[in-house]
Structure 1
């Protein structure tokens, strides 16, 4: 029934919103998943043009609250979305869980894939793995802070973690720097020069949960909410999974 109602709503949009346009903003861990591909599918089915833009995590809230024209749909990690909601920055009925991105180990293409299925095995691999490229924990990225917290645990004393000064840890590994990298899975998948080994053991808490919502500044809340429902419907889950996100 839910799928039928959504299809009917999309059909209505396709006939009534020929010139409509919505703006979607999200940080890299959502942007690098299936957001762009599903936005293109939404446009094909409804005629509503979707502009998708990546925003830095450290400036996300300021951009969402201050950009002109304002965004219609915002994607954020759960804690930032909760902050935005408390500030009145989203329509409360639009708060929608999207999925989870896990931090994982990456190696160069063709390199062996070590067993990191336990914290102890991961620690052994990282300590003997040479230079481990990571996002800078002081660079304003939440991912860098999470990785920094994990590597500060006593089990990982002696790991040669190298914070990158340009871009991501995985991007540095893809450029030929270092020996391994810790990065969110979608940001490993989109670099053909490197390969995913496996996500970190779950007990380390190395993940980010993604949320979507309609901005309270949106001038087209109807189409914005339809977009959120479209990208979170059951039929969209394979697209997110293929890019490395685990949809809720």
Structure 2
């Protein structure tokens, strides 16, 4: 069995996967070499030929990789759901985001809103702005993050509000998560894992995949802001 598994994971699961990978390494003696990036960036890298044993993507991204024969369909396992939320700087008043109308008012009042271009949350948020009829106003003052954590723009003072998966917002120290965008406005992102068809260490990858999808992983997922 391999001593090292190469895992590519979407950014939304970074906190949980770091904890779970560490526990897996201790129990199995198998090292996990993990790399984290937004799903769209990972899909692009996989299409360019980057090698991996295991991938964790949004369900849509994983389905694309299965359809292209890059991931084995039978190995696919749903791991967690994640909702998009909003964060502010510590001590900043928590604006109302509990209804669609309140969210609209809050977004329009913000000096700048940080959101990502490549992540699932950013794709969703850009579409939401169009649906709400405020895309031009918000994008004229938005702080666009190509990839990485949008809440870092709160710490730097570039933005008043940061929008991203709650599990990603929680990765940044020195910010406060207000809560999720109204649930009737969003469909949770589903993150799923699968073994690569050309995995160099298939047996070890399957072992890690079983662990990540096991009941043992549930408390870790919940602590990082995800729903199993």
Q: TM-score if structure 1 supplies the norm length?
A: 0.82
- 1:82 pairs, out of 63, 66, 75, with 63
- The change in CA–CA distance for 1:106 and 1:165 in structure 2 (over 3 A counts) is closer
What's the counterpart of residue 215 of structure 1? 196
**Offset from partner CA, 1:142-172 (integer Å, 9 cap, x none):** 3322111111123546753403256543221
2:23 aligned to which of 41, 49, 55: 41
Q: How does 1:182-193 map to 2 (within 5 A)?
A: 182-193=163-174
Give the count of matched residue pairs: 224
Query: Could you report, residue by residue, the CA deviation over 1:211-247 in whole angstroms, capped at 9, with x for unpaired residues?
Result: 1001101122221111111112112111111111111
Query: CA 1:215–1:195 in structure 2 vs 1: closer, same or farther (change >3 Å)?
Result: same
Matched, 1:153 2:136: no
Q: Distance in 2 between matches of 1:46 and 1:125?
A: 48
1:12 maps to what in 2? none
Take 2:115 and 2:171, find their aligned partners in 1: how far apart are those partners? 16
Structure 2 distance, partners of 1:169, 1:143, is 10
Match of 1:29 in 2: 12
Alpha-carbon separation, structure 2, partners of 1:181 and 1:59: 20
Identify if the C-alpha distance between structure 1 residues 129 and 193 changes in structure 2 by more than 3 Å, giving closer, same or farther: same
Alpha-carbon deviation of 1:20? 2.3
Alignment of 1:32-181 (within 5 A): 32-65=14-47, 66-67=49-50, 70-136=51-117, 140-154=118-132, 156=134, 160-161=138-139, 162-164=142-144, 167=147, 168-181=149-162
Q: CA deviation at 1:64?
A: 2.7
Distance 1:90 1:27 in 2: 15
Which residue number in structure 2 is paired with residue 5 of structure 1?
A: none
Q: TM-score by structure 2 length?
A: 0.89
Whether the 8 Å CA contact 2:39–2:61 is kept in 1: the answer is no
User: Which deviates more from structure 2 when the two are superposed, residues 127-136 or residues 116-125?
Assistant: 127-136
Contact 2:96–2:102 (Cα < 8 Å) also in 1? yes
Q: Which has the larger radius of gyration?
A: 1
